[in-house]
Structure 1
Amino acid sequence: MTDKQSLLNVALVLAKVSDQKQPFQQLIQCIKQVIPSDAIALLTLQGDVLKPQAIHGLTPDTLGRRFVINEHPRLHAICNAKQPLQFAHDCPIPDPYDGLLSSKAGDIPVHACLGIPLLDSDDSLLGVITLDSLDANAFDSFDLELFTQLGTLCSAHLQTVLKLQQYQNHAQHSSALVQELNREALTRDGAEIIGQSTAMQALRSDIKLVAASEFSVLIQGDTGVGKELVARNIHLHSKRSEMPLIHLNCASLPENLAESEFFGHAKGAFTGAHNARQGKFQLADGGTLFLDEIGELPLAMQSKLLRVLQSGEIQTVGEDEVKYVDVRVIAATNRHLKNEVAQGRFRADLYHRLSVYPLNVAPLKQRENDVILLAGYFVERTARKLAIKQLKLSVETQLLLTQYDWPGNVRELEHVISRAALKAKQSQWQQAIITIEPAHCELNLSTNNPAPVALTTADNNNINKQNFSLKQATDTFTQHLISQQLEQHNYNWASAARTLKVDRANLVRLAKRLGITVKKSI
């Protein structure tokens, strides 16, 4: 086989670098076919060290060695050469591979040694190829031009491989970084659904069930119940959890820009489109798109959204090309979409496409004693934010929280706790334990339309006094409320606690503090 034919074969083999799982070893095999040798090594430059990447004819431990260039004269000479360098067979310079030849123990005897520097397009050193043969005249039959052309091919191959590895490492790093940032963002404010009520247990069960599927989900519930938290949990328990969860609030979309927000736009697509921009569907490709307040979406956009859900096709504003995306859609609304469909404000086909698996999030007032659990969660989180070592709710405050209807649901509870903690800290800043009292919460129970509580004339007169404090008024009200409920339930603490939506032990402690006792006798 001629030298040109050998080089052509090498070029053809190296051109398939993208398909090779071991590109460095493939390079060694190609060199061996052109220039038979007893030992071949490919080493890449890393600072002032040469690191073996692939070997032939050398002991396996060679791959674990790192050759400091200045400590190995032959390697130093090759690195500083601009073309292939052949050493004389009787060259006295020590060989870095002495004792490492797999076919012969001990020092390498008189032998042929060839080094090829591998340079990039800027003539900067990438690495070297070393060839050794026990036949002292093994390389004499080849001319320098062959070595030079082989070095050029190998340099281009090595540069391509190193670039590919750099891109792959960068892509893997970027992907890992995106996944980590995505998971951190999803869990930063807490991803756990707090609550032990029947409604919350059923909701958690439904989330795990639907998360494993690829179904579209429609989350329905009043404002502030935590629909976004439900969407985050569905995503985190799905097969797409390592991919992004993109949020889009449909209520804040200007109608003339809605299509661009969903599908992106090309540069110059409309006035003000100075740069191309990806839409939320492109950003969510492979992951999940959460469409909050879907009931506010304009009718014109509803038909375009339906097309994506049916076929996965999107068309960027200003472009003719149709693109395909793999996106799972989770929608949420505080509207009754069935009524919206009946009144012609929401497309029936889109409603059915979105509500493959509907989830209803119960309002806080229907979650039994979950309000106390949620209050504890917000108290702990608020304490960290305000640098309070110990923050707690008084028993009276817990009773107050359970008696309130929470029209703003969980969001209102969170804000009430935050404000109350700040006020409690200001009034009790010298105390080791800060206690949130009812006065700090500023909740108006009269808005709940509670059952009337009969107060005695003496109590009313006391309450009307100017020096009567809010705490005294609250205690008086609480005392009569508990007494009334105990009487109605035949002095059964458990039944009264259920009606008052408070823990039985807390009710007994509170009653004891207020001087209420129940004595049974025969």
Structure 2
Amino acid sequence: MLTNPLLLTLIPLIADLSRDLSDDERYRRLLMALRQLLPCDAVALLKLEGQVLVPLAVDGLSADTLGRRFKVDEHPRLNALLNNNGPMRFATDCELPDPYDGLVENHRGHLVVHDCLGCPLYVQEQIWGLITLDSLDPSSFGKVDLSTLDAFASLAAATVMAGERINLLARNAEDQRQLAEIYKRAAGSKHNQELIGQSSSLRQLRKEIDVVANSALSVLITGETGVGKELVAEAIHKHSPRASKPLISLNCAALPETLAESELFGHVKGAFSGAMSERSGKFELADGGTLFLDEVGELPLAMQAKLLRVLQSGQLQRVGSDSEHHVDVRVIAATNRDLAEEVRNGRFRADLYHRLSVYPLHVPALRERGRDVLLLAGYFLEQNRARLGLRSLRLNSDSQRALLAYTWPGNVRELEHLVSRAALKALQTKPERPRVLTIDEDALGLDSKTQNHAVSAIDSGASTVRGRDLKESIDIYQSSLISEALTRHQGKWADVARELGVDRANLNRLAKRLGLR
């Protein structure tokens, strides 16, 4: 009969290596086994991407931890673990800040981690990431045999490699080649914003991105203001065969009508007053790559016709020139408008709409993504922690519940602004800079101001919208929300845009369409 605790823990994991499990389930079993082998308050599996450690699975840490991105150069403990050849325990009186301070769920009244153990993971002799263990009890790991964790780390690395190989086998040979190139480029690139979340709607969106990215089809990304349409465009480009070529972005809403043609197609010297030299347009700059046209529904009809011609023929003329240039550009467009409705109302060309929306992608609103709000909050908390020079920045349980209960009319952008504002407010209430700064519900400001106004707008408009179609109901709700905000801010549109978490130019256009300006 087996009595060795290490063997009893490892045998089920060895059996899992050949099973077709999801990554989430594979990593969940791995961390459960680790906590069984080495009892502690929290464990985490982190993958190294460039110079950033990304949590793939956690157990015992707050939900927002999965959304955080730990920059190695900002976290000396994680850096030390990566540069160690094997397991490492930090002294209980170590002065290096712990990245998990304040994030352990069952903190029993105190927030600071007292015992920390970790081990680097190597896959095919290359550093892949880390396993970390943390405890609030200073004596938890004092008698731990580090060779036990080293043996576990070897199996953890095998688990990771098995999962990645199974994922690769699910693709054809061409997909494998392109995926390897993408990972190679990503490993050497600076970490940027990403699509963060685990909700079913976001998982489906990621699948759609994987499907369309490898094609040459035009994509029309739709969704409310602030949902992250530009991030979706970046993800499509990053996973496409054009990833080594430029991604050029153009906000059509910010284009003065007189300069729109020059911005898109370029101009020659003397083409118009102020054209002192030749200039390439966005299409030429994106040649071989991708052109992202944000807020494409804002283009005037005359400009839409010229854009359609280039999309159909691949030929363009600079303003003031008779010669044509051929460009090879994939176009991704985005809008928060219902373009089909705009076509019916004669404000958008039907032929251009069909040319752009060969593959439509809808980005879900934040209120439709459940607990993703906590992961995104964690991402923004980590950004603000570094920006404010804090050792730890966290949400208490009441503030987490408030975030989950809110309807987020401004979506992810509103959440980003709210977290930044709440962190500053929470810091201002402290006479001295704390080691762990906790954001409470009052600092969020959702209960007494924005949230109640949103709820009252819905309640007051309920009888008005009853019996109407969805678009009319949304217009009525938006009008009520904006009108109430205008009253509170005495007609100051900049303050209204700030409260609602929307771009001021977009708010002005929406207000005009709703007849509020």
Q: TM-score, normalised by structure 1?
A: 0.50
Verify: 1:242 aligned to 2:244, yes or no.
yes
Q: Which has the higher contact order (CA 8 A, sep 6+)?
A: 2
Counterpart amino acid of 1:259? E
1:137 matched residue in structure 2:
none
SS at match of 1:391: strand
- Aligned residue number for residue 311 of structure 1: 313
Paired residues of 1:218 and 1:331 also in contact (CA < 8 A): yes
Q: Which runs of 5+ in 2 are unaligned?
A: 1-181, 460-517
Change (3 A) 1:357 1:198: same
Give the superposition deviation at 1:189. 3.9
1:431 aligns with: 434
d(CA) in 1 for partners of 2:258 and 2:186?
Answer: 33
Deviation at 1:382, TM superposition (A): 1.2
Q: Which residue of 2 aligns with 1:295?
A: 297
Distance 1:303 1:186 in 2: 38
Partners of 1:257 and 1:301 lie apart in 2 by: 10
Superposition misfits of 4+ residues, deviation over 4 angstroms: 182-188
- Tell me, yes or no, if the aligned pair for 1:383 and 1:390 is still in contact at 8 Å: yes
184 and 219 in structure 1: CA distance in 2 versus 1, 3 angstrom threshold? farther
**Amino acid across the alignment from 2:241:** K
Q: CA offsets per residue over residues 215-270 of structure 1, 9 Å max, x none?
A: 00000000000000000000000011111110101001111111100000000011
| CA offsets 1:452-479 (integer angstroms, 9 cap, x no match) | 9xxxxxxxxxxxxxxxxxxxxxxxxxxx
The Cα shift of 1:308 comes to: 1.1
> SS of the residue aligned with 1:219?
strand
Aligned-partner residue type, residue 417 of structure 1: V
Secondary structure of the residue aligned to 1:365 is helix
How many Å separate the matches in 2 of 1:430 and 1:259? 52
For residues 28-47 of structure 1, what are the structure 2 equivalents within 5 Å? Answer: none
Q: Once the 2 structures are TM-superposed, how far is the Cα of residue 449 of structure 1 from its aligned partner?
A: 2.5
Q: What is the SS of the residue equivalent to 1:222?
A: coil
Q: Provide the residue aligned with 1:446 in structure 2.
A: 452
What is the rounded CA distance, in whole Å, between the counterparts of 1:187 and 1:332 in structure 2?
25
Kept in 2: contact 1:186–1:232 (CA 8 A)? no
Shift of 1:418: 0.4
Deviation of the 1:187 alpha carbon: 5.5
- Partners of 1:183 and 1:275 lie apart in 2 by 37
Which residue matches 1:28? Answer: none
Counterpart of 2:399, as a letter, is T
Corresponding residue of 2:354: 352
Distance (whole Å) between structure 1 residues aligned to residue 268 and residue 405 of structure 2: 55
1:337 to 336, 339, 348: 339
Give the match for residue 86 of structure 1.
none
Classify the secondary structure of the residue corresponding to 1:349. Answer: helix
Q: Which residue of 1 aligns with 2:105?
A: none
- Seen in structure 2, the aligned counterparts of structure 1 residues 186 and 366 have a Cα distance that, compared at 3 Å, is farther
SS at match of 2:409: coil
1:439-518 correspondence to structure 2 within 5 Å? 439-443=442-446, 444=449, 445-449=451-455
Following TM superposition, by how much is the alpha carbon of 1:424 offset from its aligned partner in structure 2, in angstroms? 1.5
Equivalent position to 2:229, from 227, 230, 235:
227
Q: Which secondary structure state, in structure 1, belongs to the residue aligned with residue 280 of structure 2? A: coil
C-alpha displacement at 1:378, in angstroms? 0.7
Alignment of 1:115-134 (within 5 A): none
Cα deviation for residue 183 of structure 1 reads 7.6
Find the counterpart in structure 2 of residue 257 from structure 1: 259
Counterparts of 1:321-400 in structure 2, within 5 Å, are 321-400=323-402
Secondary structure of 2:230's aligned partner:
helix
Unaligned runs of 5+ in 1: 1-178, 453-522
Number of matched pairs: 271
The answer to which of 382-391 and 393-402 deviates more is 382-391
In 2, the alpha carbon distance for the partners of 1:347 and 1:185 equals: 42
Give the conservation status (yes or no) of the 8 Å contact 1:302–1:347.
Answer: yes
**C-alpha distance after superposition, 1:359-394 (max 9, x if no partner):** 001111111111111111111111111111101000
How has the CA–CA distance of structure 1 residues 234 and 185 changed in structure 2, closer, same or farther, with 3 Å as cutoff?
Answer: farther
Residue 325 of structure 1: CA displacement? Answer: 0.2
Q: Deviations over 1:420-477 (max 9, x none)?
A: 111212223432100011111111331343899xxxxxxxxxxxxxxxxxxxxxxxxx
CA-to-aligned-CA distance 1:90-127 (integer Å, 9 cap, x gap):
xxxxxxxxxxxxxxxxxxxxxxxxxxxxxxxxxxxxxx
Instruction: Report Cα offsets for 1:403-429 as digits up to 9, x if no partner.
Output: 111100000000000011112122234
CA change 1:335–1:399 in 2 (3 A) is same
The DSSP-based 3-state class of the residue aligned with 1:362 is coil
Other structure's SS at 2:279 match: coil
Between the aligned partners of 2:230 and 2:187, the Cα distance in structure 1 is 16
Distance 1:186 1:404 in 2: 35
SS at match of 2:264: helix
Partners of 1:365 and 1:294 lie apart in 2 by 25
Q: Which amino acid is 2:445 matched to?
A: E
TM-score when scaled to structure 2? 0.51
Query: Aligned ranges for residues 79-228 of structure 1 at < 5 Å?
Result: 188-190=191-193, 192-228=194-230
Deviates more, 1:233-242 or 1:419-428: 419-428
Q: Report deviation, 1:185.
A: 13
Superimposed CA distance per residue, residues 314-349 of structure 1 (whole angstroms, 9 cap, x where no aligned partner)? 001111111100000000000000000000000000
Maintained 8 Å contact 1:375/1:413:
yes
Where 2:231 maps in the other structure, the secondary structure is: helix
Asked whether the 8 Å contact 1:291–1:330 carries over to 2, the reply is: yes
